[in-house]
Copies of this chain bind each other. A is one copy, B any other.
Amino acid sequence: MDFNISEKGQDYLKRVKAFMRDEIYPIEEQYHKDLAAQENRWVVLPIIRELKEKAKAQGLWNMFFPDEKHGCGLLNSDYAVIAEETGRSFIAPEIFNCNAPDTGNMEVLIHYGSDEQKAEWLPQLMSGEARSAFFMTEPAVASSDATNMEASAVVDGDEVVLNGRKWWSTGVGHPDCKVGIFMGVTDPDAQKHRRHSMVLVPMDTPGITIERMLPVFGAYDEPYGHGQVLFENVRLPKSAIIAGPGRGFEIAQGRLGPGRVHHCMRAIGAAERTLELMVKRSMSREAFGRPLAKLGANPDVIANARMNIEQARLLTLKCAWALDTKGIMGALQEVSMIKAVVPAMLQQIVDDAIQMHGGGGVSDDDFPLTALFAYARVLRLADGPDEVHRAMVARLELRKYKS
């Protein structure tokens, strides 16, 4: 048994930590102020482009790819610990070209894309020039049940025609967002998991309208944002269908696995940073003659945070290790477990940290806690709500008893 990551992973981790310490933390606060001061916040400030170049130059780039060809050849368990570091800052993932939904989209292209699709989009995405979106969730139905999906991707001769309204398309507001992956029904009469297709769709294709950006607890999360996007008779060559018609579910399962793990890894980092804020505040303020850290149930709050982070991290690492050693099909219960456990854990710790901060805790301008709360709260819904993941964990548990 060994809870240490690989030597290569340790080397990367050390360099990522140094980069975070030297380049990112020092400019974070000013960055957020500068962005807030923009008339149009849907922009990439020069400091971000600069840091991306620096990160790329240091080889701290596309670290999420497990192979050496596209990435750095890090194990998922190595990357887990690195992603945790990047999760401590809202801006870090983009700087390392490791942020959602691009990581998942690139993986789809690599595993399921045609040579043509790869040639057109992979270089831009891997270099960080272009960014991408994912069009799955819909406003009109309960998307927790993917079979509810109403959007269509109908084959019409040599073309495929997209129609429907999607929302919670993260990153669609980014000025570099050039392409998306759209999921829709191709054959409503096919077997339940063979009905849908995934289609690669350039954002400048006629018929696409970003109807609005969604505010989440008052934040638009610029310059990424979460969009509601209307597709009206969006026509593309049939070759835009990824891996051919009817394979949407199959791709989704493959895509969402690692994506969920990455989300959880970053959320662990966010939880660590939150606990750090909580502890520091609790040590710096006094009430009733004691520092808050020593007052009443506050030590329990701190201890529970530490114990819950620690357990959730280990579960996430175990999941990453299962991905490394058994592949996605050998890690299904683990993936669902972390997706149900980690965001809820983060939400609780942020809530406790808010309470520990008193009035300052609920002020967006004083601490990042409300932003962290929104992040956690959304994550309990994104990529499947807690309920769906718990149901999956239970289903797989029962299966162990069936002969």
Give the interface of A toward B (CB within 8 A). Answer: 1-6, 75, 77-78, 137, 139, 141-145, 148, 167-168, 212, 214-219, 275, 279-280, 283, 285-288, 292-293, 295-300, 302-304, 306-307, 310-312, 314-315, 317-318, 320-321, 333, 337, 340-341, 351, 354-355, 358-366, 370, 373-374, 377-378, 380-381, 385-387, 390-391, 393-395, 397-398, 400-401
Contact = CB atoms under 8 A, between A and B. Distances in A.
Contacts of A397: 275, 279, 302-303, 306
A305 to B, nearest CB: 8
Copies per assembly = 4
A186 B391 CA distance: 39
29 contacts: A1-B4, A1-B5, A1-B75, A1-B320, A2-B2, A2-B321, A3-B318, A142-B287, A144-B287, A144-B358, A168-B359, A216-B370, A217-B373, A283-B401, A296-B296, A296-B387, A297-B300, A297-B387, A300-B387, A300-B390, A302-B397, A303-B390, A303-B391, A303-B397, A306-B337, A307-B315, A311-B312, A354-B377, A362-B378
B167 A398 contact: no
Contacts of A361: 381
Given A148-B286, A311-B341, A391-B303, A1 B317 contact: yes
A311 to B, nearest CB: 4
B215 A299 contact: no
Contact of A364 (B215, B283, B363): B215
B300 A310 contact: no
